[in-house]
Structure 1
Amino acid sequence: MTTFPIHRSILLLDIENSTSRSNPIKEQLRRHLYQMLDEGLAFAGVDEKHREQYEDRGDGVIALIHPVDEIPKCHLISRLIPSLNQALLDYNLSLPPEEWLRQGMRLRVVVHAGEIHRDDRGRGFFGEALDVACRLLDARRFKRSLAASSDPLALVVSEDLYWNTVHHEYDGLRPCDFTRDIRVTVGGRTHHGWLKIPTPVLDSSIA
């Protein structure tokens, strides 16, 4: 290989049912998504110097966070996710009820971490850790779990992140809030994801 692996925390977000919306609505949702992500990462202590440039997925985003001592991975779960959750709730409640189906936004979010590679011609990143995160994000069971919920966000953390971070209850995380509910196969290996559907608080000062 011509590149060496680099470690990144991997954050993937995807807007539910984006393909069923008109292009103007998609543009609006994307604008709100990036604003929510910027604000949520700032609340978690992550600014532009701590991350790679966002990779756009059309109806979602890939954010790769540098391994910085003052920004532990648990903050992506314990701080970013509540901020995103509350921002989604506030946005949806700002819409007239008759516009919820057309303009409302709900997200699937995956948090993972691992070794990835930067393309030596500057065309982005690749590697098994990214493949695992993308498979978790697109898992049918994950999509069904959000569809069956009335909450605005569903979260899956990877097996490694669960046992290394959630399991130890860092920054107030509660293992009992997660269920080992998602399973995907990448490169002949089975990978599990731990699912949480956080319930937002109406009157919050999170973000």
Structure 2
Amino acid sequence: MQGEAGYGFIISLDTQGSGAVPDPQRPALRNRIYEVAEGAFERAGLAEEVLFQEDRGDGILAVVEPRRTERVAGEWVEHLHQNLRAANAGAARPLRLRVGLAVGPVTPDGHGFSGAAVDLACRIGNCAEAKRVLAAAEGAPLLIAVTDGLYQDVIAPGGRWIEPDHYRQYTTELPEGPYRPWFMVPGRQTPPLPGEGDAPAVGEADAQAGAGERRAPTGAGQTREGRTGEGQTGDGNSGGDHFHFGPVTHDGSGSILQGQFGDITFDHRGGER
């Protein structure tokens, strides 16, 4: 059964180097992921704006109310960074996260949401360049990757805790072809070039394989590429009336969300994948 499409702010969060984490340590890793991410939603005043949240084993996929684009790109990102710094203090294995952000149409069904914007957020946060940039940023716990459309519409104008000049654009190869996301490492003036400086993080050697020639970074004036799945990022009036939601809870093994999106009611329980 298909629901009516509406706009959403998509957040795809993945753990860097999670493949090297032994199974006995994974429950603690997952608890830390939820603590820092959901704590950031609370501190940014977005806890009630989370329309959907899905467990991804070593990450989270969330859809946030689309009228909160600046708050997600600014306050939520900053609180996530500070929560990670606090959680990693004295940790033997620091938690390092990659986050892909996109805005676009999403369609609900009985299992969650789908849409090109969902795919794009996941792919730019998990692409080879994202892994290489974070691997090169020694000591940094977080990398943010945003679509070109989101950068032009939300990041470039600036806002509370949004610093456009801290982003840099790199070309990456997605299944659909070349694409140019914008990357930012909180706490750094600009992100490092992919692969420069430090050796890959443990478990990330595969990110170095198959690296092709990279284009030099460009400024915001470059022609935009690959806007697939992106759309209105202003007040969210397009499709915004279709979002109705209830509480999101986490029981340690996944997330449970109960609510409505248009005339579709869903009860999603995430499990480790």
Q: TM-score range by the shorter chain?
A: 0.7 to 0.9
| Rounded Cα–Cα distance in structure 2 between residues aligned with 1:193 and 1:86 | 24
**Partner of 1:31 in structure 2?**
31
Matches within 5 A, 1:186-201: 188=176, 190-199=178-187
% identical aligned pairs: 27
Q: Does 2:66 align with 1:77?
A: no
8 A Cα contact 2:94 2:141, kept in partner: no
Matches within 5 A, 1:97-112: 99=92, 103-112=93-102
> Which amino acid in 2 is paired with 1:108?
R
What SS class does the counterpart of residue 30 from structure 1 fall into? helix
Structure 2 portions without partners, runs of 5+: 189-273
> Which amino acid in 2 is paired with 1:137?
G
> Which amino acid in 1 is paired with 2:132?
R
1:177 to 159, 166, 169: 166
What SS class does the counterpart of residue 57 from structure 2 fall into? coil
1:102-126 deviations in Å (ceiling 9; x for gaps):
x32100011111101112xx11111
| Rounded Cα–Cα distance in structure 2 between residues aligned with 1:138 and 1:109 | 8
What SS class does the counterpart of residue 42 from structure 1 fall into? helix
- Give the 4+ runs in structure 1 shifted more than 2 A: 1-4, 182-186, 188-192
**Partner of 2:106 in structure 1?**
116
Aligned residues: 187
1:67, CA displacement in angstroms? Answer: 2.6
1:130-152 deviations in Å (ceiling 9; x for gaps):
11111111210110110111211
1:71-129 deviations in Å (ceiling 9; x for gaps):
x311112111111111111222232xxx2xxx32100011111101112xx11111111
> Which amino acid in 2 is paired with 1:110?
G
8 A Cα contact 1:78 1:172, kept in partner: yes
Q: 1:193 to 1:3 in 2, by over 3 A?
A: same
**Partner of 1:138 in structure 2?**
126
More helix by share: 1
> Which amino acid in 2 is paired with 1:34?
Y
| Rounded Cα–Cα distance in structure 1 between residues aligned with 2:50 and 2:7 | 12
1:31, CA displacement in angstroms? Answer: 0.4
Larger radius of gyration: 2
| Rounded Cα–Cα distance in structure 1 between residues aligned with 2:17 and 2:78 | 22
**Partner of 1:87 in structure 2?**
83
1:15-67 deviations in Å (ceiling 9; x for gaps):
111121112211111101111111101122111x3213321111000111023
Structure 1 portions without partners, runs of 5+: 201-207
8 A Cα contact 1:76 1:111, kept in partner: no
8 A Cα contact 2:52 2:64, kept in partner: no
8 A Cα contact 2:54 2:61, kept in partner: yes
| Rounded Cα–Cα distance in structure 2 between residues aligned with 1:172 and 1:83 | 10
> Which amino acid in 1 is paired with 2:104?
G
What is the CA RMSD across the aligned residues, in angstroms?
Answer: 1.9
What SS class does the counterpart of residue 3 from structure 2 fall into? coil
| Rounded Cα–Cα distance in structure 2 between residues aligned with 1:167 and 1:128 | 23
